[in-house]
């Protein structure tokens, strides 16, 4: 199982299409939230070669860092703050082509140039966690990423309650 987890394809679309069914199968076979999220983060980081991939959990009025792969990151982000806090407040996916152009962007790493942030929801429709993916290049993320990553957030909503 874990050894046979492979991402195939050359385009982003092909990679996501190879990755998502494997993530679904892997997480359906495990009930532990941290174990599932940790594997999902690793699969994204190494499968699509992103700079930083991580989860922030909603805890009270803050987001608190969860499983991640990449350089050490900010541990707490307030409601509405940075890209992550804005995605939480607005309850939607945010794509930032150039982090320097996003008012209030929180620079955990000066190497991060663009990012995509997506919320996962609990059964009452409240945001329960945020997925943050950072790139060292400008304008890495587009509608292909948001479409497949929104499918991933549905898998996360199911597997990681
Ligand atoms: N850039 C994010 C903070 C999290 S780190 O990038 C890992 C933001 O502005 O919310």
- Which CATH number covers residue 83? 3.30.450.40
pLDDT digits 0-9 by tens, 82-95: 999 999 999 999 99
Q: Which of 93, 82, 91 is nearest to 121 (CA)?
A: 91
Range of the domain at 67: 12-159
pLDDT for 4? 62
Task: Give domain status of residue 132, yes or no.
Answer: yes
Is residue 21 one of the residues assigned to a domain?
A: yes
Of residues 15, 57, 1, 10, the one with CA closest to residue 152: 15
pLDDT (tens digit, 9 = 90+) per residue, 36-77? 999 999 999 999 999 999 999 999 999 999 999 999 999 999
Assigned domain for 130 exists:
yes
| Residues in the ligand 1 pocket, defined by CB under 6 Å | 52, 54, 73-74, 77, 82-84, 105-106, 108, 112, 115, 132, 134
Residue 160 has what pLDDT?
A: 83
pLDDT at 140 over 60: yes
In this predicted structure, the answer to whether residue 5 has a pLDDT above a threshold of 80 is no
Centroid of ligand 1 to alpha carbon of 76 (angstroms): 10
% the chain with pLDDT above 90: 90
Residue 3 lies in a domain: no
In the reported structure, the alpha carbon of residue 82 is separated from the centroid of ligand 1 by a whole-number distance in angstroms of 6
Structural domains in the chain (count): 1
C-alpha–C-alpha distance, residues 138 and 160, integer Å: 31
Residue 1 in any domain: the answer is no
What is the rounded distance in angstroms from the CA atom of residue 31 to the CA atom of residue 16? 23
Q: pLDDT value at position 2?
A: 57
- Indicate whether 105 belongs to any domain: yes
- Residue 5, domain member (yes or no): no
């Amino acid at each position: 199982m874990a050894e046979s987890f492979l991402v195939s394809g050359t385009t982003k679309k092909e990679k996501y299409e190879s990755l998502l069914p494997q993530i679904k199968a892997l997480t359906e076979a495990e009930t532990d939230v941290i174990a599932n999220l940790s594997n999902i983060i690793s699969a994204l980081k190494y499968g699509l070669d992103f700079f930083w991939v991580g989860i922030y959990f909603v805890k009270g009025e803050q987001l608190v860092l969860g499983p991640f792969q990449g350089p050490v990151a900010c541990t707490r982000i307030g409601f509405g703050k940075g890209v992550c806090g804005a995605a939480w407040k607005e309850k939607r996916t945010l794509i930032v082509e150039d982090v320097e152009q996003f008012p209030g962007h929180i620079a955990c790493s000066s190497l991060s140039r663009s990012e995509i942030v997506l919320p996962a929801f609990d059964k009452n429709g409240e945001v329960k966690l945020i997925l943050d993916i950072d790139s060292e290049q400008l304008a890495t993320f587009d509608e292909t990423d948001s479409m497949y990553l929104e499918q991933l957030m549905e898998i996360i909503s199911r597997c990681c309650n």
